[in-house]
Amino acid sequence: MPNIVEPKLISGNANLPLAQAIARRMTMYRGMNVGLVDARIERFNDQEIFVEVYENVRGEDMFIIQSTSRPANDNLMELLIITDALRRSSAARITAVIPYFGYARQDRRTKARTPISAKLVANMMVEAGIERILTLDLHATQIQGFFDIPVDNLYASPIFAIDAKTQFQDRLDQVMVVSPDVGGVARARELAKRINAPLSIVDKRREKPGEVAEMTVIGDVKDKICLIVDDMCDTAGTLCKAAEVLMDNGASEVHAYITHGVMSGPAVDRVTNSVMKSLVITDSIQPTEAVQSAPNIRILPTAPIFAQSILNIWSGTSVSSLFETDTLAPIYEGIL
């Protein structure tokens, strides 16, 4: 057990409801009040970000809860400036809890004269004074190697497995997990193994970014309940088209389990009007009112897994134990 008495949480503006939910769960686990550190984060007239921490954080184990979601640049700068404020206030250790890691899609050079922005963001975080990262379902797991500090990458698949077993408990023998592209096979296979279901793949070919030219289903989905698994849903164009292709190939129902609901532009309308019976996302990104009111979108909480992970990091115990469905089941009992 470290010398530090209690972990302390501070939140940016990206997803305050999630930060408050994490604090409530930690209060429940600890049996004592765990609140968010009192601070103000405001913008000057020219949109410069200013942070002031009202509580003493000297020698404390600090956890900054901040997704770098839309607006990505503003939320990223909030994270960096909060880190600088804590470092200059003599915090003992600073851990960034980033439920959704923005810029993760720019993890490699796709053509000449393009950046690797995920590496740049990693450098900025380390230089600012962050000493550990806790995140959920990185778009590309190799991003962990961009950091010279520990990175704990949690997985949503155990949460999805618990939910799927609850939702389809009487029909699990009819379920088939589907990867929406070849690159996501490992992620889909992980859920398929957890619920003992077969795996299928939708092979897509793009003529240019944002447009899918052709989709082909690899595997027999006839009369199957198809669960499309992916790490993020942005405009939902590919997702909705994949659902249509699966139905055209004889699937009885199509559902989707997506970790990060970016839900840009026409995404909500597309999902609402699609053949999908349900889209399940997590609250790693604060859902808009449109997302919350959509009849076929469900939101799973991530506060339980993040709260337990923070406590494990603080106490020096295993975070990887939370990768197992059996470990998470008691934490999510009564929630899913």
Burial of 92 (0-12, 13-18, 19+ CB in 10 A): middle
74: nearest Cα among 51, 53, 93, 58: 51
Which segments within 24-67 are labelled E, that is strand? 39-43, 49-53, 61-65
Q: Is 234 annotated as a binding residue?
A: yes
For 48, which DSSP code?
Answer: -
Cβ atoms of 155 and 323 closer than 8 Å: yes
Q: Is 161 annotated as a binding residue?
A: no
| Active site (catalytic) residues | 204
Cβ atoms of 149 and 133 closer than 8 Å: yes
Strand partners for 201: 179, 218
Q: Is 283 annotated as a binding residue?
A: no
**Which amino acid is it at 292?**
Q
Distances from the Cα of 253 to the Cαs of 102, 198, 224, 230, in angstroms?
32, 15, 7, 17
CB neighbourhood size of 239 (10 A): 25
Q: Is 105 annotated as a binding residue?
A: yes
Q: Is 236 annotated as a binding residue?
A: yes
CB-based contacts of 213, cutoff 8 Å, min separation 6: 205, 206, 207
Q: Is 47 annotated as a binding residue?
A: yes
Q: Is 148 annotated as a binding residue?
A: no
Element containing residue 23 per DSSP (H, E): helix 16-30
Q: Is 141 annotated as a binding residue?
A: no
Q: Is 308 annotated as a binding residue?
A: no
Q: Is 167 annotated as a binding residue?
A: no
Q: Using DSSP, state whether 123 is helix, strand or coil.
A: helix
Which segments within the chain are labelled E, that is strand? 7-11, 39-43, 49-53, 61-65, 93-98, 132-136, 151-154, 175-179, 199-208, 211-218, 225-233, 253-261, 278-282, 297-300
Q: Which residues participate in the annotated binding site for D-ribose 5-phosphate?
A: 206, 230, 234-238
Q: Which residues participate in the annotated binding site?
A: 46-48, 105-106, 139, 181, 206, 230, 234-238
Q: Which residues participate in the annotated binding site for Mg(2+)?
A: 139, 181
Q: Which residues participate in the annotated binding site for ATP?
A: 46-48, 105-106
